Amino acid sequence: MEIKSALVNGTGEDYEIETVKLSEIQDDEIRVKMVASGICHSDEVARTGELPHPLPAILGHEGAGIVEEVGSYVKNIKAGDQVVLSYKYCGHCNHCLTGKPASCNSFASLNLDGKRSEGTYYFEKPDGTKINSYMHSAFSTYSIVKQENVTVVDDDVDLRLVGPLGCGFMTGAGTVFNGLKPEAGSTIAVFGTGAVGMAALMAGKIAGCTKVIGIDIHDDRLELARELGATHVINSKTQDIEEEVNQLTGNQGINYIVDTTGVVPVIKTAISLLAKEGVIAPIAVQKGDLELNVLTELSVSNRSIIGVLMGNTIPQLTIKQLVELHRANRFPFDKLIEFYKFEDINQASQDSASGKTVKPVLIIDEEYKPKAAQA
């Protein structure tokens, strides 16, 4: 079938909306009509080549849509279901079998190889040129996914809002809930208050941290961070961050830190602000290598650095949990979202990269209406 997709044809080039061909689904696959997709920093680094990916490609991995067709092997998912899409995992390696699919042995190949495991492609141009996939290639009117990509959500959920739960918001919240696991009454700081950082701040509040500190260089972001649950904010450009943290913690340092900046000097500063036995999770795409004196910066104070991918989540559980927290007004991620038309993808991408918009969401199906609105 012919569909519309936003392609990146060369490294650093703008998106181009083109008519492409979508293959037939296989027995273990699902065809989804996309309603909306968030734009994530991981899309930008793939477009610019900072994260090498074969081109031409259809990017996008924060998609939400409606199931149109399922293969004969697919269970518990049917045509008409509303779904949020996330990363793919094999389901049978040791990590998947112990409930840690983000550590799947095949994570990279399943999500970033650009094609099916047997070598066939989901998309091609009218002239036969093969098009590489990226995660679930959500920047498209239709896509083909596996059962592992899919989380079914209730019919009253607005699909225009929930796509970012499949990556950015899930990563930020999951890093706190599943990676750091802060105790009630502990302190947490988040460096960088973009989409992932804001989700981490909200999760810190939900987890019962008594001091939730947002750190950024933009006052408007910090003001929003306060609205979403930060108890304190620090503008590290205009304030002495060490002095502020010492005052807030009684010179004890911060128990838990999430870094979403990927800036090496910022990460070094964050480590220096950890309390004894403090833990930091740097989760951004980092530029440059981080050099440490392990003895003086970590061991002497029993500090730890942990890696957390995709929030160490099980998407089919976490996405539903975040939807319920949103219903309860405890995870108001909708305040971070700004909608863009699909054809304005390049503007949305620029606004995401510049920080003008915290979380741009492309409306791919403008005729979609939530079932609650139809009633």
Q: Give the pairing of strands 150-153 and 359-363.
A: unpaired
CA distances from 348 to 26, 51, 194 (A): 33, 20, 15
* CATH number of the domain located at residue range(s) 172-309 in this protein: 3.40.50.720
The pLDDT of residue 347 is 98
What pTM does this model have?
0.95
Question: Among 16-25, 176-185, 283-292, 356-365, whose mean pLDDT is lowest?
Answer: 283-292
Q: Give me the mean pLDDT over the 204-210 stretch.
A: 98
Instruction: Please state, for a pLDDT cut of 90, what percent of the chain lies above it.
Output: 95
Both tokens of 109, joined, read 């190949």
Q: Where are the domains of the chain?
A: 2-153+332-374, 172-309
Pick the CATH number of 2-153+332-374 from 3.40.50.1000, 3.30.420.40, 3.40.50.620, 3.90.180.10: 3.90.180.10
Tell me what the pLDDT averaged over the chain comes to: 96
- What pLDDT, on a 0 to 100 scale, did the predictor assign at position 23? 98
Three-state secondary-structure class, residue 103: helix
Using one digit for the tens of pLDDT, what is the confidence trace for 304-324? Answer: 999 999 999 999 999 999 999
The pLDDT assigned to 375 comes to 47
pLDDT band per the 50, 70, 90 thresholds, residue 374: low
- Could you give the CA distance from residue 307 to residue 338 in angstroms, rounded to a whole number? 30
Read off the pLDDT of residues 14-32 as tens digits, 9 standing for 90 and up: 999 999 999 999 999 999 9
